[in-house]
């Protein structure tokens, strides 16, 4: 995706990424964390603001910092970095609510052709089955894996 994005910091395993969103509400630290799920090789993409009290990700906060596209492009850039390090990984993402899941779907929809050059892209249907991502379909979540 050829959108402006933030620089991020990460650790050697590329499981945790941190960057600052800078917008009309000031500087807000964002965290992206890849956590292996119960199925080996499948990772959940967790994303949200850094809660300064707990030092944990808070994915319920609505920041509205005016830089949503730049933030989303930054998150996608970490998927590229993570799957370059772990090319056999499957990355699952869903929003913390329906509006956020819809936002992710719109981001995938708007960039699907570019994403499909590098990834297989799937959507999780209501019947809990994954299918190749179809434009215009509603999904509960999304799964990507690198093309070999």
Dihedral pair phi/psi, residue 75, rounded to 5°: -60, -45
Q: Is 27 left (phi over 0), alpha (psi -120 to 50) or beta?
A: beta
Question: Which residues of the chain fall below pLDDT 50?
Answer: none
Total count of domains within the chain: 1
* Residue 71: Cβ-neighbour burial (10 angstroms; 0-12, 13-18, 19+): buried
Domain for residue 127, yes or no?
Answer: yes
pLDDT tens by residue, 119-146? 999 999 988 899 999 999 999 999 999 9
Rounded distance, CA 5 to CA 77, Å? 8
**What pLDDT score was predicted for residue 147?**
98
- What pLDDT score was predicted for residue 52? 87
Residue 50 falls inside a structural domain:
yes
Q: Does residue 1 belong to any structural domain of this protein?
A: no
Put residue 64 in one of left, alpha, beta given phi > 0 → left and psi -120 to 50 → alpha: left
4 within a domain of the structure (yes/no): no
The range of the structural domain enclosing residue 93 comes to: 9-146
Asked whether 10 and 16 are in contact (CB, 8 A), the reply is yes
């Amino acid at each position: 995706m050829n959108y402006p994005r933030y620089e991020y910091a990460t650790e050697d395993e590329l499981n945790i990424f941190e960057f600052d969103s800078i917008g009309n509400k000031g500087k807000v630290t964002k965290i992206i964390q890849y956590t292996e799920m119960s199925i080996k090789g499948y990772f959940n993409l967790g994303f949200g603001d850094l809660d300064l009290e707990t030092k944990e990700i808070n994915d319920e906060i609505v920041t509205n910092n005016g830089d949503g596209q730049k933030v989303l492009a930054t998150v996608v850039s970490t998927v590229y970095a993570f799957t370059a390090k772990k090319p056999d990984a499957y990355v699952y993402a869903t929003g913390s609510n329906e509006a956020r899941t819809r936002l992710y779907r719109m981001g995938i929809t708007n960039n699907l052709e570019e994403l499909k050059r590098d990834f297989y892209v799937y959507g999780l249907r209501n019947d809990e089955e994954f299918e190749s991502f179809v434009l215009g379909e509603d999904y509960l979540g999304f799964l990507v894996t690198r093309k070999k």
